[in-house]
Amino acid sequence: MTEQTAERIALEARAGELGVSFQANIGDTKLQKRVDAAEAKASSAGTAPNEQGLTSNAAVPPKGEIQKPQRQAGSEPFIKVLGPVNGFWRCGMRFDAKPTSFGVGDLTDDQITALEAEPELTVIRQKNAE
């Protein structure tokens, strides 16, 4: 594996500050264009990030940890969805072997239909979370 140049490291750091997503194998020129576009957008919106260094990313969950909406126990009907151990994406959400609970009002009818129609997922409708 080749060593990264100081310019590349600085470019990746700036991309991180601006929230620009990129793959590790992206070229420097293409990444620079994305960073320039994000800087232009941020400056036109008046929300340019701190130029002195990385801003705190305490609100960003660690890589690999995706926050799932969880419901509190109650009398409202709800849906539990279980996916395969390796995880599975459907309706913009990731499901794995750990159950994910939704109130019926949290999902649209189309989302519920898509989840129930997906053979990789197990959908359980229950009266309450208890």
Q: How many whole angstroms separate alpha carbon 55 and alpha carbon 44?
A: 19
- Among 62, 106, 63, 61, smallest CA distance to 81 is for 106
pTM above 0.75, yes or no: no
**Six-digit token pair at 103?**
């109130």
73 within domain boundaries = no
Residue-number span of the structural domain to which 104 is assigned:
78-126
84 within domain boundaries = yes
Are residues 49 and 95 both part of a single domain?
no
82 within domain boundaries = yes
12 within domain boundaries = yes
Name beta bridge partners: 101: 80
Please write the tens of the pLDDT for every residue from 31-71.
Answer: 888 888 888 887 776 654 544 444 444 555 555 555 555 54
Are residues 56 and 84 both part of a single domain?
no
69 within domain boundaries = no
Are residues 82 and 49 both part of a single domain?
no
Are residues 84 and 43 both part of a single domain?
no
Are residues 5 and 50 both part of a single domain?
yes
Please write the tens of the pLDDT for every residue from 98-114.
Answer: 988 887 678 888 888 88
- Number of domains present in the structure of the chain: 2
Are residues 52 and 1 both part of a single domain?
yes
